[in-house]
Amino acid sequence: MKIISGSVCAPKGFTANGIHCGIRKNKTKNDIALIYSEVKASCSAVYTTNLVKGAPLFVTKENISDGFAQAVICNSGNANTCNANGVEIARKTCELTAKELGLKPTDIVVASTGVIGQPLDIEPIASGMKSLVKGLSKTGNGEAVLGIMTTDTKPKEIAVEFEIGGKTCRMGGIAKGSGMIHPNMATMLVFITTDVAISPKMLQVALSSDIKNTFNMVSVDGDTSTNDMVAVLANGLAENDEITDFGVDFDVFMKALNTCNTELCKMIAGDGEGATKFIECKVTGAKTEEIAKVVSKSIICSSLVKTAMFGSDANWGRILCAIGYSGADVDVSKVEVKFASSKGEILVCQNGAGVEFSEEIAKDILLEKDIEILVDLCDGNACATAWGCDLSYEYVKINGDYRT
């Protein structure tokens, strides 16, 4: 398993592009992206758990109900959510894309991200479609990832190369996500491509299983978005024997998917709106994996923990507090807490109580950009990891006037 370049264009048969079509006022920013497979691909997706869902999610779910797709179209700057004609606009976007690519509208995954409740005009999408399709290329991943960004400060891309059954396979992904990020999906859109041959059924099994330990373990601000979607297209051009059941080949595929998704999770958490630090919370010694997950997510979601990390303050009591209200079955009298970064590691709590430690050394450790919160529940062998960021003044500034 090795990291390579190219993200969604790395696998065989995939091209991409992104342009500014006119949805966003800022003409220097791309606002629409397209990913295309030269052959029809197995397709699976997972969606936000929010009861309020963007229209594109309903249309995508309908389109890929047969387990296949051949292209992904996504606009930024407008979420196409809570609009009376939202479904109509999403379907029209699929029709325009399909016509230009010579496909059926039902072969399209459609997505949107941006402001909620703003009418989305189809005209910019229609006028930009010819240029978008014409510019499809094997190096178009860079433009595509820019086309799905909103408040993101940096593009999020990953690709890996691996072998299945003696065949060289590749998998790549792009993601957007910076704010409105909370477990059970977040304000994120993730598009994964691979040239592995795998049935739609096993692709859905793989994706549904992996997000429990990746995207559902990310939190920036506690808000679960309306437009979240993770979609995977697998076109089979690597020519491995099709994966139709569990086994060694499926395990390798799962490892590749987990590698891509984990890296994208870290990028999303590290690019949280207004964030100055990336936080990784590792919980070990739990009685069950579920307990470890609940505890790690409770800590990473705590506003008081986030603000302490922003201030480089080793306020370990806030971590114990987050564990205490998590609802997990934990013996707090056994809990151990450490802080770590590239500057070292320091024990701040043992057996559920404080220990003597140097505030100066702790401060030095927490001044780094990448911080680890290490919690040992000392009650079993299960573990889990959650990702997040600090909470800064800038978060309020960004979201206070986001719409206007």
Catalogue the active-site residues: 187
Here the contacts of 137-142 (C-beta below 8 Å, separation 24 or greater) are 137/9, 137/15, 137/16, 137/17, 138/6, 138/9, 138/14, 138/15, 139/6, 139/9, 140/9, 140/15, 140/16, 140/17, 140/18, 141/6, 141/7, 141/8, 141/9, 141/10, 141/16, 141/172, 141/174, 142/18
**392: DSSP letter:** -
Distance in angstroms (rounded) separating the CA atoms of residues 297 and 308: 16
Distance in angstroms (rounded) separating the CA atoms of residues 51 and 175: 22
The alpha carbon of residue 211 and the mean position of all alpha carbons in its chain are separated, in whole angstroms, by: 9
User: CB neighbours of 374 closer than 8 A, spacing ≥ 6?
Assistant: 282, 284, 337, 338, 339, 340, 345
Residue 266 has phi, psi (to 5 degrees) of -65, -40
Comparing CA positions, the residue from 384, 220, 180 lying closest to residue 294 is 384
Task: Indicate the burial class of 356 (C-beta count within 10 angstroms; 0-12, 13-18, 19 or more).
Answer: exposed
Q: Do 181 and 188 touch, CB atoms closer than 8 A?
A: yes
Distance in angstroms (rounded) separating the CA atoms of residues 388 and 379: 25
Angle, to 10 degrees, between the axis of helix 55-63 and the axis of helix 86-101? 50
Here the contacts of 395-398 (C-beta below 8 Å, separation 24 or greater) are 395/179, 395/221, 395/272, 395/273, 395/274, 395/275, 396/274, 397/274, 398/151, 398/179, 398/273, 398/274
Q: Do 46 and 158 touch, CB atoms closer than 8 A?
A: no
Six-digit token pair at 379? 């009650």
Six-digit token pair at 285? 């010694």
Distance in angstroms (rounded) separating the CA atoms of residues 319 and 372: 12
Six-digit token pair at 82? 């809570």
